């Protein structure tokens, strides 16, 4: 059975106010003599004053509780809508202060959890889930975008030759070099394995050409990878896909960009030099 505690508090306030009014009416004549002709009126006035005071206290209590609930509901609505930067802002001690602090700690924990869930453990880049969420947002908004599908050349050979520990370090190194090549309006993601994706919203004055972006990536990767024992140059193959104001399927777009990347890989295959120590 559900209980409406505001109604309970209302009846409690009324009971206490009537009790106080009756007590005041009974005790006051003992302290200050009141003529008998005014005694009945005094009793009624005392009880009425007690009820009025009780109503005033109840409505003050009701207004404060309503304000607190409305504030916390606003914060929670923002969180449900995906805004994990929302925080309760009551500057208070006691019970309200603890509730405020507990709510903010819970939201901060959710924010950290969401950030970790959307980030790749190895490279610390946003992962496939984060890419898919961003893709969904810009696709629903029908924003034009450019997607770069990047694959590390000969990565299986690197793993087979130097081991998976070195392979992981190569991925970290490659992620850092590609990130250095990106412009501020471009977002870099690790799709999985040795595959990375750059997303860029186009159609603005700041849009960069694909040739310029690929040139910057190649330039950054001219710096050879070295771990003290092994030194070699890393190359990547890049496929691009451009969308113009249309809502598309995430998997289909990745497939098209992947096909463009493999076309680029096949064209340059004969020119890929063996890994050099």
Looking at the chain, list the stretches that DSSP marks H as alpha helix, in order from N- to C-terminal side.
5-31, 36-80, 94-117, 128-140, 155-162, 164-181, 210-220, 250-268
pLDDT at 53: 87
Residues of the chain with pLDDT under 50: 205-206, 273-274, 276-277
249: annotated active-site residue: no
pLDDT, residue 1, reads 65
Please pick, among 194, 227, 249, 258, the residue that the annotation labels catalytic: 194
What is the per-residue pLDDT across 47-96, written as a single tens digit (0 to 9) for each? 888 888 888 888 988 888 888 889 999 999 988 887 888 888 888 888 88
User: For 128-270, which CATH class?
Assistant: alpha beta
Give the pLDDT score at 116. Answer: 75
The whole-number pLDDT of residue 276 equals 45
Q: Where are the domains of the chain?
A: 5-114, 128-270
Which residues in 124-203 belong to E strands, given as ranges?
145-152, 186-192, 195-201
Q: What is the mean pLDDT of the chain?
A: 86
pLDDT of 34 reads 67
């Amino acid at each position: 059975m559900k209980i409406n505690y505001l109604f309970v508090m209302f009846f409690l306030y009324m009971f206490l106010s009537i009790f106080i009014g009756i007590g005041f009416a009974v005790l006051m004549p003992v302290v200050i003599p009141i003529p008998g002709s005014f005694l009945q009126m005094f009793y009624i006035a005392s009880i009425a004053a007690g009820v009025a005071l009780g109503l005033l206290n109840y409505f003050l209590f009701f207004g404060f509780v309503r304000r607190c609930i409305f504030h916390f509901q606003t914060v929670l609505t923002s969180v449900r809508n995906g805004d994990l930067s929302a925080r309760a802002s009551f500057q208070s001690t006691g019970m309200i202060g603890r509730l405020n602090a507990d709510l903010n700690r819970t939201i901060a924990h959710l924010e950290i959890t969401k950030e970790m869930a959307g980030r790749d453990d190895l490279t610390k880049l946003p992962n496939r889930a984060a890419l898919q969420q961003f893709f969904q947002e810009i696709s629903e908004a029908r924003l034009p975008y450019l997607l770069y599908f990047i694959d590390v050349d000969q990565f299986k050979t690197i793993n087979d030759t130097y081991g998976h520990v070195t392979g992981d370090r190569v991925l970290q190194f490659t992620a850092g070099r590609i990130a250095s090549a990106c412009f501020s309006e471009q977002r870099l993601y690790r799709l999985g394995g040795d595959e990375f994706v750059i997303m860029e919203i186009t159609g603005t004055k700041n849009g960069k050409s694909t040739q310029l972006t690929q040139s910057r990536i190649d330039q950054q990767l001219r710096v050879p990878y070295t771990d003290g024992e092994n030194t070699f140059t890393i190359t990547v193959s890049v496929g691009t896909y451009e969308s113009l104001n249309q809502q598309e399927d995430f998997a289909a777009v990745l497939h098209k960009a992947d096909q463009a990347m493999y076309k680029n890989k096949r064209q340059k295959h004969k020119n890929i030099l063996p890994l050099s120590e």
